Amino acid sequence: MNELAQRDVTLIWHPAAQMKDYETLPPIVVDHAKGVWLYDVEGKKYLDIISSWWCNLFGHCNPIINDAIKEQLDKLEHVIFANFSNEPAIKLAEALLKIMPSRIKKFHFNDNGSSAVEAALKMCFQYHAQTGHPERQKFMCLSEGYHGETIGALSVGSMDLYAKMYKPMMMENIHVEAPDCFRCPYGKDREHCECECFAHAEKAFESHARETAAIIVEPLLQGSAGMRVYPPLYLKKLRKLCDETGVLLIADEIATGFGRTGRMFACDHAGISPDVMTISKGLTGGYLPMSITCVSQEIYDAFYADWDTGRAFVHSHTFAGNPLAAAAALAVQHIFRTQPIFENATVNAKWLTKRMSDELLPHPNVGEIRHIGLIHAFELVADKKTREPLPEKNRTGYAVYKKALENGLLLRPIGDVLYFNPPLNITQLELDEAIKLAKKSLYEVLPAK
C-alpha cells in the first residue's frame, strides 16, 4: 500500500464497500485522467469502461466541458436559488425542454440522484393531497429496483443489499415482481414476448391503485439488479394502466438518461412520457453534482396558489441550480447538438455486441451478453443450460474485478454480473482493448475446462 493510500484508509470511509476488503485491495489513488484512461499516482493506467459510476458521459477532462466550467468560474460560482436565479440554469431548463418527453414542462433542481427521487415522491404525495385524493399515500415499485439511498428512495427500492438493514425506518410500499428476461418464468425472451410478466403489475393495480400515488421504475434497464434489460412494451402497458387508474408514473432516468440506452431517454424507446422524470449522472457529463426532478404542467399547477393556502412545495437544497454544474450540463447539450454522438454510438453498440458475443459468450460460465445502447453486461453462472447462479459466497464477480484491475481495466461487478457502460464517444479501438482485458481477466479467474 503506497503512502497516499495509507493516508486514505486511515481517515476515509468509502461508499458501497466493506472497508476490511481494503486491507488486501487498497484504494487506487488517481492522479489524472484523459478520455477513457485513468492514471494513478504510481503511473499505472486503467481503462475506465464503466464511466466512473456511469456518469462520465464524454470521457474524462473533455475540453469542451472543461472550458465551459472555467469560463463560468470567473463569472459566478454559486448563488441561492430561492428568489434568485442564474443564466446557466435558465438556459439549461430551456435546452432540456427541447429534448424532454411531451408531458414534461417544469424543472425542479436538486443536487444528487437520491434527492431528485425524494423530491419526486414528495411531489406526487402532495399533488394527490391537493387535488382531492388524500387517500393516495403509497407507492409502487419493481422488485430488484434501485432508486437511491435516502430513506424515501430506499423505500421504493427492492435491493436487500442496500435496504434490508433499514426496513424498520422505511415506508411500506407495494412491490411488483419485475421482468426478468434472462430467467423468464414464461419461457420467452425479451425479443419475442408480449410482456406476459406484466400480469404482476395488473394484479397490483387491481388491488392497490386507489391508495397509490405513483409507481416508480427504472425504464428498460434495472441497473443495480445486474443490468437487467426488459422490453419497451412493458413501459407502454404501464403508461396505459397509469392513465386508466390515475396513478402517476415516475421514470427514474438517472442512470438511463442522456444517450445511455441509444436514445436520449429510455422512455423514448417506448414512445411514452412519464408524469415525472428524475435525471442526474450524465446530466453534467459526470463533472459536478446536479439532479433535476422534471414534472408535467398538471402537477406543477396543483402547487401554484397564494402562500397562505399552504400549497407550496417547501423542499430545497443548498446547491440546487448551481451555475457551475449548469454550465457543464449546457456543454453536454452542446456536444449532443454538434457532434454525431448517437450515430457513432449506434454503430459501436452493434459492433460491441458482436465482439463480446464472439469473445466472451463461448466461456462455459458466461450465461448471457445483454445490452441496450452501449451498455453491455455479461452474467456469470454455474451452468449455462439451467442458468444456475454461482455460489454467492465465492464472490466470483469481485474476483474478476480485482484481476481486471491488475490488468489495467476498471470493470466493476454487480454480484456476478460485470458490465461495460463506457463514454458515448469511446472508439472501437478502445472498446476492443477493454474486451481483450476483460476476457483475459475472466479466463484467469475461471479457466475454461
Q: By residue range, what is the domain housing residue 56?
A: 3-61+341-445
Angle of helix 199-208 relative to helix 232-245, nearest 10 degrees, comes to 20
Same domain, 428 and 356: yes
Same domain, 244 and 125: yes
What pLDDT is recorded for position 127? Answer: 98
C-alpha cell read off for 110: 436538486
What pLDDT is recorded for position 376? Answer: 98
What 3-state DSSP class applies to 386?
A: coil
In 3D space, the residue among 202, 227, 214 whose CA is nearest the CA of residue 173 turns out to be 214
What pLDDT is recorded for position 158? Answer: 78
List CB contacts of 134: < 8 A, sequence separation 6 or more: 128
Alpha-helix residue ranges (DSSP H) falling in 360-427:
396-406
Same domain, 313 and 437: no
Same domain, 374 and 249: no
Same domain, 97 and 123: yes
List CB contacts of 253: < 8 A, sequence separation 6 or more: 219, 265, 266, 267, 277, 278, 279
Q: Give strand pairing partners of 417.
A: 379, 414
CA of residue 76 relative to chain centroid, distance = 30
Low-confidence ranges of the chain (pLDDT < 50): none
The CA distance from 212 to 367, in Å, is: 37
Q: What is the DSSP letter of 385?
A: T
Same domain, 367 and 266: no
Same domain, 326 and 345: no
Q: Using the structure block, give the residue that is written with the C-alpha cell 402532495.
A: 126
The bridge status of strand 291-296 relative to strand 104-110 is: antiparallel
Count Cβ atoms within 10 A of the Cβ of residue 57 and give its class: 0-12 exposed, 13-18 middle, 19 or more buried.
Answer: buried
C-alpha cell read off for 352: 460491441
What pLDDT is recorded for position 47? Answer: 98
What pLDDT is recorded for position 449? Answer: 72
Other CB atoms closer than 10 Å to residue 169's CB: what's the count?
10
Tens-place pLDDT, residues 209-256: 999 999 999 999 999 999 999 999 999 999 999 999 999 999 999 999
Q: Give strand pairing partners of 142.
A: 176
Same domain, 121 and 56: no
Q: Give strand pairing partners of 30.
A: 40
What pLDDT is recorded for position 431? Answer: 98
What pLDDT is recorded for position 161? Answer: 78
Please report, for the domain that includes residue 229, its CATH number.
3.40.640.10
DSSP for 401-413? HHHHHHTTEE--E
Domain termination site, one of 284, 304, 338: 338
Same domain, 303 and 354: no
Sign of the CA dihedral with 165 first, then 168, 171, and 174 last? positive
Domain termination site, one of 318, 338, 358: 338
Please report, for the domain that includes residue 23, its CATH number.
3.90.1150.10
Percent pLDDT > 90 in the chain is 95
In 3D space, the residue among 265, 243, 284, 248 whose CA is nearest the CA of residue 109 turns out to be 284
What pLDDT is recorded for position 52? Answer: 94
Same domain, 51 and 72: no
Same domain, 330 and 402: no
CB 345 within 8 A of CB 357: no
Count Cβ atoms within 10 A of the Cβ of residue 20 and give its class: 0-12 exposed, 13-18 middle, 19 or more buried.
Answer: exposed
When divided into structural domains, the chain yields a total of: 2
The reported pTM is 0.97
- Separation in Å, CA 92 to CA 73, 97, 233, 395, 439: 17, 9, 31, 43, 41
Same domain, 77 and 43: no
What pLDDT is recorded for position 170? Answer: 87
Q: Using the structure block, give the residue that is written with the C-alpha cell 428476461.
A: 181
Tens-place pLDDT, residues 180-214: 999 999 999 998 999 999 999 999 999 999 999 99
What pLDDT is recorded for position 42? Answer: 96
What pLDDT is recorded for position 133? Answer: 98
Torsion angle defined by CA atoms of residues 253, 197, 225 and 230, in that order, rounded to the nearest 10 degrees: -50
Looking at residue 379, its amino acid is: E
CB 176 within 8 A of CB 209: no
The CA distance from 231 to 219, in Å, is: 9
Domain termination site, one of 303, 319, 338: 338
